[in-house]
Amino acid sequence: MKPRDYDLNALWMPFTANRQFKGAPRLLVSAKDMHYTAEDGRKILDGTAGLWCVNAGHCRTPIVEAIKRQAETLDYSPLFQMGHPGEFRAAGLVAALAPEGLEHVFFVNSGSEAVDTALKIALAYQRARGEGHRNVLIGRERGYHGVGFGGMSVGGIPANRKAFGNMLGRVDHLPHTHNIDHNAFSRGQPAWGAHLAEDLETRIVALHDASNIAAVIVEAVAGSAGVLVPPKGYLEKLRAICDRHGLLLIFDEVITGFGRTGRAFAAETFGVVPDMITFAKGVTSATVPMGGVIVRREIYDTVVNDAPPGMVELFHGYTYSGHPLAAAAAEATLALYHEEKLFDRARETAPYFENALHALKGVRNVIDVRNFGLMAAIELEPAPGRPGARGFAAFLQCFERGVMTRATGDIIALSPPLIITRAQIDELIGTIDKVLRNLD
């Protein structure tokens, strides 16, 4: 291993135990297809697609080439009051993958920005249609919607909220759907829990009055809190209640978008169509940051037609919205998904993944295994008095044995690139099995 020619100290790492990491760093220096290479030359099998994002696999040649070509041709152009062809093409390709009726795409640079943008569009829409009093936003416990003040407020992960004081004031939360007593070791959607959606009507609408509520945002499958799969019938109920009361329904598909559930979007997989979809990560297979919101036609028309001719309609956007490199990466990524039929491949691989995962039932400390498409969680009994320690130890030992997983508390989360083979699934789960059997 070459000596490092840099210091670790200057960088404040996000969502990281900085002191632990800097004492025993895990550095990745290159990647190809299903593998990272660590600085000591070891190959690491990527069981998490980076951070749920490298859906096409690493350093795929057509995407790399498209980014290079774009960087040589048009490095940057603003999207305020002008544009470039690539971002219009990319928007068309994304919209074509979305359910019928979701036709317009607003580009941003991350999932957090996508969520805050969707919440702002919801408020702007309600105002434009003369319902400006609808300004309460509804999220869900254990939801993760990024780290902006909007996403943090509708999100429901206590650690992500507790240090940050002021949040959006007019927010409420649905109960989460995770219940090991009822649903442990469910394969796919759990049978129990659809009734939890009724809280939207019986408590939240009853408390705030529908006339004050703008929108409800949920992850189609909650990812970061540990892969919480919606119970059968749950999303359908949410949709019906939103329709009854004129509430917009937003699916945060930052993780579930672009093949993770075996279709372009989870909305299609579940057959439930929201009014907006937020996306990021897989749109460029994470090669260049990009995110966005796909919006139902009526929402776009209402906001856009509400402004006087020649005037800006939505005072919102980012310097890098629709960045040319991101747009080029998106075009190439979406073409690659199509050519290699990677969404179908994910759907076909999912049952093998499911069987391999559920073989972990009965392994020491495993209290639940759950899965949907190519996402999964293995939940461990927390070590007494040390919540999270067992999950983190499992993550570290997997990494040492050449397999990348993600620990969220005592839950090991998996979301491999859609190109994973059966042999690689065996290696991934086999390594986790060995690690868990040897963990304290």
Ligand X SMILES: Cc1ncc(COP(=O)(O)O)c(C=O)c1O
Contacts with ligand X, residue ranges (CB under 6 A): 110-112, 115, 144-146, 219, 223-224, 252, 254-255, 280
Which residue's Cβ lies closest to ligand X? 111
CA atoms within 13 A on the CB side of 41: 3
Shortest Cβ 248–ligand X spacing (Å): 17
Structure tokens given for 317: 């956007």
Q: Which is nearer to ligand X, 60 or 145 (CB)?
A: 145
Give the span between the Cα atoms of 74 and 85, in whole angstroms. 11
When the beta carbons of 144 and 185 are compared against ligand X, the nearer one is 144
Q: Among residues 119 and 303, whose Cβ is nearest to ligand X?
A: 119
- We find the least distance from the C-beta atom of residue 263 to ligand X, in angstroms, to be 17
Q: Which is nearer to ligand X, 134 or 281 (CB)?
A: 281
Q: Which residue has the tokens 């939890």?
A: 196
Q: How far is the CB of 411 from ligand X (least distance, A)?
A: 14
Residue closer to ligand X by CB (options 125, 144) is: 144
Residue whose C-alpha is closest to residue 166's, from 183, 179, 185, 153:
153
Give dist(CA 137, CA 131) in Å, integer.
14
Rounded to the nearest whole angstrom, what is the least distance from the CB of residue 334 to ligand X in the complex?
18
d(CA 111, CA 327): 16
* Dist CA 330 CA 349 (whole Å): 24
CB of 339 to ligand X, least distance (A): 26
Min separation Cβ 250 and ligand X, Å: 11
Which is closer to ligand X, CB of 128 or CB of 147?
147
The answer to whether 413 and 398 have CB atoms below 8 angstroms apart is no
Compute the least distance from the CB of residue 210 to ligand X, in Å.
26
Beta carbon of residue 216, minimum distance to ligand X (angstroms, whole number): 15
Q: Which residue, 87 or 252, is less far from ligand X as judged by CB?
A: 252
Residue whose CB is less far from ligand X, 6 or 15? 15
Distances (CA, A) of 156 to 99, 141, 147, 354, 377: 27, 4, 11, 27, 19
